[in-house]
A and B are shown apart, each in its own frame.
Chain A
Amino acid sequence: MNEKIIALQNEITEKLNSVTDLAQLDQIRVAYLGKKGSITALLKGMKDLSVEEKKTFGAEVNALKELATEKIDEKLTELKEKEIQQEIASMPLIDVTSPAFTDRGSYHPITLVQRQCEAIFKSMGFTVEDYPEVVTDYECFEALNIPKHHPARDMQDTYYLDNGQLLKTHTSAAQNAILKKYGKNLMENGVPIKAIFPGRCFRNEATDACHENTFFQMEGIMVDKAINISNLIYFMKSMLSEVFQKDIKVRLRPGFFPFVEPGFELDISCLICGGEGCPSCKHSGWLELCPCGMIHPNVLSEGGIDPEEYIGFAFGLGLTRLAMMKYGVKDIRNLNSGSLKALSQFTDDE
């Protein structure tokens, strides 16, 4: 073999052995295999040789070229792998146990409970209504069959305004408007009235851990040709089981409210003890939750709906109480306190 070729081969091998990075490798590639590289130069120098010599020498140079290319590629792969390894090694260990940035906004707990209730009723085809907080005596009492001299209308229980209106004492104050809004569609097209109305209510009373002058209720009414007590129990049980995400036992007791007849107090099995009896249900196994009943014929009439033909139920769920039960809020005053310490804890809860 040509001495020059042997020398060159040794030289390449030697240089490749000492290569440490891709830049050096590239220099080598250029130095030997480039247009002006040493191997390329050997080929160029062949013009002076005989045909026979050309044949032999050419084959040898080509072999060298192949070998050099192979060696350089090998080295390239090796160096690339080395570089990845270095990159891997250079990755710092990240302390995921360090404090996370968890700054989140919050919903008012009433919003969360209200949304859950709304979602359940929407899924059963109820509309969600929106009505004012300042109402007339007619809406709050008169239209609800609450006679002029009923204690509920006393000054000491209701916030009256100096223009003669009042802050609604219960969400039932929207019943008349709902009946009037949907009555036509019921009577002309046979579309049942199915509506809920979550809203803020006001009672003129001193506040303490269990009493607030400002609180939320959710009214629900359903009116059609054939609605009965059995249906009422079904809807209340389904709704409450959904709200609390467990099978809730309900029971009805007679309760007197002028706008329903018959009227009921609805109790649910205690959420803490499941009915065994514990301090939170005063050892009765039951919690009083929701007044309800069949809409009084006078209330239907006042809403322009013939009670001989139509019938319905109504209920008034205490959203504030529900929120307190659900989240274990012990002091009702926290809800309107505006205190972020208390209220920023209620991030989403769907």
Chain B
Amino acid sequence: MFLSMNWIQDFVDLSGLDKLELIAKLSLSTAEVENEIFFKGSDISGVVVAEIKSVENHPESKKLHLLKVDAGDGKLTDVVCGAPNVRVGMKTAFAKVGAKLGEIEIAPRPLAGFESFGMCCSEAEIGISDDHSGIMDITENVAAGTDIKDVYAIDDIIFEVDNKSLTNRPDLWSHYGFAREFAALANRPLKPLELEDLTAYDNLKKIDMKIEDNLCQRYSCMQVENITRSVSPVNMRIRLFYCGMRGINFLADLTNYLMLEVGQPMHAFDSRKVEKIRIKRFDTPFTFQTLDGVERNIDENTLMICNGNTPVAIAGIMGGLDSEIVDDTTTLTLESATFDAVSIRKSTVRLAHRTDASIRYEKCLDPEMTTLAIARFINLLKKYDSGVQVVSSLTDEYAFKYDTVSLSFNKAYVDRYTGIEISNDTIVKTLTDLGFKVELKEDDFTVTVPSWRATKDVTIKADIIEEITRIYGYDNFDVSTTLAPLYPVRAEVMKTNENKLKDLLVKKYNLHELHSYIWAYTDELKALGIEVEDNVKLLNATNPNIETIRKSIIPTQLCQVKVNTGFGSDFGIFEIGKVVDGLKEDGLCNEQKKLCITLFSKTKDIKTLYLELRDILSVAAGDIKHKELAFKAASADKAYIHPINFNEIYIDSTLIGSMGIAHPSVLKKIDKKANVVFAEIDMSAFTEAESASIVYDEPSKFPAMTYDISVEVPDGMLFAQLKSCWENEGKEILKSTRIVDTYDTDEVHSITVRFEFSSSERTLAGTEIQEIMDKVISNLKEIGVNLR
């Protein structure tokens, strides 16, 4: 919303104060002011009132005229002018030689064979409207040579307030509202509005009007006739134009002017079309043509203003074309009303049509304002069109009245919120300046909230704190830390685990952490031939590609791998993110946090790559849980997973996740020459699985002994089977086993295992070791493994 400093100064005298400083203060205390401030008129100089003394047609041009003008400097000046509306005796805006119009500096110049010493200006040329149909026709009684800025209020400071910062302030959708803020900030008195005394018309007839729907809170109206003026005063038009509104005609401009001045949207009907005003909704939908000519679909929830049963306006949004003021309108019915804010907002959403009026109504306007606005309207109407006659009494139905809000609090309450000292006097002064009625007894305040703040904005005593502190100024606050007892802070184990995992994966394994979206990437998955799993869906996704929430991060990472195939021949990615695995019994989403890792390689064979992933997971479990992982072959339950080498991963008996290999059909679409493996770990299961402590084994003072055996491993035998042959033998002294050599030919797969024995109590005898090893070798033989 644009605001004019001139307009604001109608209501508060800010003379002698730095306006820019005040605007900056407003931004910190009231509402966000946009950075760009407009200094209207500052680029216009040397433009004066001039009278056209003679008009001659240009001998060759049909458009151009040769004028002699009197610019008040005691001589006639020759001007070539192309405007169609020139006439002798007309007074216009004249830019003399040396004048500045924005970027243009006026200089004598030849035009179609004649010298021109200046320029007659349209309103658009001096920046006060977008009218460039002709030069200005100045009707005011001013002498030639008078500076145009002394005739019209062209110089003004215009600033824009971010509408978003006004959502909770219905009172600030007007210049008068801002004038009140400036008055409080500048410590200057706020002037009252000049109003017509409407009680003078009390004995005139009432208008036939009735509220038939509780969505209308108050409806006030009045009739006037004998309106002769059709064009608004220039200064009024300038203000409207500067504030971003186009001039239409006097009556329409005046309703807009009132809206910008006091914040009350008003509507002027042709009285012939609204003889019987009814405010109601209709049971059946219909179409209705608004005054912008658009046919709109009205449903049963939209409140309408009607003439009897005929709709004439959409309440609070826009008038109808049929009841609009037209050229032969002689009597107008002026509407000033308030409607239920939520209903207006919903209607604008349904109609997809927001107007300056509806924006204001959405904010919960003060119903007290309707009659005040009429009184102000009539005041201005009579000022600018003296023959106007009021022909009805004020007709007013006040169906819904907000409660008066009265709040009690004490000085300690204010101190507790602020943490600084703000005196009782300052509190009283601030609140009074803002229109609150304040009673103070010792340290106890009782505050009555003004009606314009009481519709929803100020309802509790904490709201009063904001009023006091914002005017006091947050920049003036002393800043201090809290005084509170200290207690130990315990970290969430899952958070800690996440951080450890991230560090391990990034620092040790050079993996890259990526983020992705919580929904399945339908299009991208389709390109990989992966079906989106049915799951919870977004109700209102603008893009069908993101409709279904994902059940697993693996498909997401397959898409990400495809995007990055050009990044390098080998890379790994991971994410700790959310998935939703359907609904729980209570109907809520079964949201889970997963760690997903995907490795991509063009250089490693599948066995190396898969075991690399296995090692990453094993190290993670070892580091964080001090546990070994167990892997259990499982059948791949997803079409994008290779049916072979899919494994479930356990810590003890807790299933924590799974790992597998990309299905060849998917792999072909990612990169034919690459291998892709992945694992997904459930963070809760990982965190909840039992963890072990570090078990320290004091190094023995006695020598350790080793014993190597080489065995031939039959096809298909797992290492876990071999291990079972020794893991229960000689437990006290068998400290470790490791593979020290492997030997593979086409026929045999053979490994050499080194057993290390030691005791912390004694030197071991060769015989006892031999005894254990004999048992191991016989165990091996039993499962068909022979020494080489």
Q: Closest CB-CB distance, A289 to chain B, in whole Å?
A: 14
Docked Cα-Cα span, A39 to B639, in Å, equals 89
Q: Are A106 and B513 CB-contacts (below 8 A) given A149-B342, A163-B587, A261-B460?
A: yes
Q: Closest CB-CB distance, A8 to chain B, in whole Å?
A: 50
* A156 in contact (CB, < 8 A): yes
CB pair A162–B537 under 8 Å, yes or no, is yes
Q: Are A163 and B536 CB-contacts (below 8 A) given A206-B542, A296-B462?
A: yes
* B380 in contact (CB, < 8 A): no
* B775 in contact (CB, < 8 A): no
The 8 A CB mask of A318-348 against B (1 = contact, 0 = none) is 0000000000000000011111110110011
CB pair B478–A108 under 8 Å, yes or no, is no
CB pair B514–A108 under 8 Å, yes or no, is yes
* A233 in contact (CB, < 8 A): yes
- Some 12 contacts from A to B, beta carbons below 8 A apart, are A105-B512, A125-B487, A128-B495, A192-B485, A231-B481, A251-B474, A262-B466, A338-B515, A338-B516, A339-B564, A340-B568, A343-B513
- The 9 closest A-B CB pairs, nearest first, are A228-B419, A230-B419, A262-B466, A105-B506, A338-B560, A252-B474, A256-B168, A105-B510, A149-B342
Pick from A46-54, A81-89, A130-138 the stretch touching chain B. A130-138
Q: Which B residues touch A206, using CB under 8 A?
A: 542
Nearest opposing residue in chain A for B458, CB measure: A261
Partner of B540, one of A159, A194, A261: A159
Pick from B24-32, B144-152, B219-227, B630-638 the stretch touching chain A. B24-32
Q: Which B residues touch A107, using CB under 8 A?
A: 502, 506, 513
Interface size class of chain B, counting residues whose CB lies under 8 Å from the partner chain: 35 or more
Q: Closest CB-CB distance, B518 to chain A, in whole Å?
A: 6
CB pair B567–A341 under 8 Å, yes or no, is yes
Q: Closest CB-CB distance, B504 to chain A, in whole Å?
A: 10
Q: Closest CB-CB distance, A156 to chain B, in whole Å?
A: 7
Docked Cα-Cα span, A282 to B162, in Å, equals 15
* A315 in contact (CB, < 8 A): no
Q: Are A162 and B518 CB-contacts (below 8 A) given A107-B502, A229-B477, A230-B479?
A: no
Q: Which A residues touch B482, using CB under 8 A?
A: 192, 222, 224, 226-227, 231, 234
Q: Which A residues touch B168, using CB under 8 A?
A: 256
Give chain A interface residues in 146-164, CB to chain B under 8 Å.
149, 151, 154-156, 159-164
* A268 in contact (CB, < 8 A): no
CB pair B495–A130 under 8 Å, yes or no, is yes
Docked Cα-Cα span, A303 to B23, in Å, equals 39
CB pair A262–B470 under 8 Å, yes or no, is yes
* B167 in contact (CB, < 8 A): yes
Q: Which B residues touch A230, using CB under 8 A?
A: 418-420, 477-480
Docked Cα-Cα span, A160 to B536, in Å, equals 10
CB pair B32–A108 under 8 Å, yes or no, is no
Beyond A192-B485, A294-B417, 6 additional pairs, beta carbon < 8 A = A133-B518, A133-B578, A134-B580, A161-B539, A255-B165, A340-B571
CB pair A159–B494 under 8 Å, yes or no, is no
CB pair A165–B419 under 8 Å, yes or no, is no
CB pair A338–B563 under 8 Å, yes or no, is yes
Partner of B588, one of A115, A165, A204, A265: A165
* A103 in contact (CB, < 8 A): yes
Q: Closest CB-CB distance, A184 to chain B, in whole Å?
A: 14
Nearest opposing residue in chain A for B571, CB measure: A340
Nearest opposing residue in chain A for B487, CB measure: A191
Docked Cα-Cα span, A160 to B541, in Å, equals 9
Nearest opposing residue in chain A for B491, CB measure: A128
CB pair A128–B591 under 8 Å, yes or no, is no
Nearest opposing residue in chain A for B538, CB measure: A159
CB pair A161–B563 under 8 Å, yes or no, is no
* A200 in contact (CB, < 8 A): yes
* B695 in contact (CB, < 8 A): no
Docked Cα-Cα span, A226 to B191, in Å, equals 41
CB pair A229–B517 under 8 Å, yes or no, is no
Docked Cα-Cα span, A149 to B495, in Å, equals 36
Q: Closest CB-CB distance, A208 to chain B, in whole Å?
A: 13
* B573 in contact (CB, < 8 A): yes
Partner of B502, one of A111, A127, A214: A111
Q: Closest CB-CB distance, A301 to chain B, in whole Å?
A: 11
CB pair A229–B417 under 8 Å, yes or no, is yes
* B484 in contact (CB, < 8 A): yes
CB pair A340–B474 under 8 Å, yes or no, is no
CB pair A339–B563 under 8 Å, yes or no, is yes
Q: Which B residues touch A263, using CB under 8 A?
A: 466
Nearest opposing residue in chain A for B521, CB measure: A338
CB pair B31–A224 under 8 Å, yes or no, is no
Q: Are A134 and B591 CB-contacts (below 8 A) given A111-B513, A122-B489?
A: yes
Docked Cα-Cα span, A339 to B563, in Å, equals 7
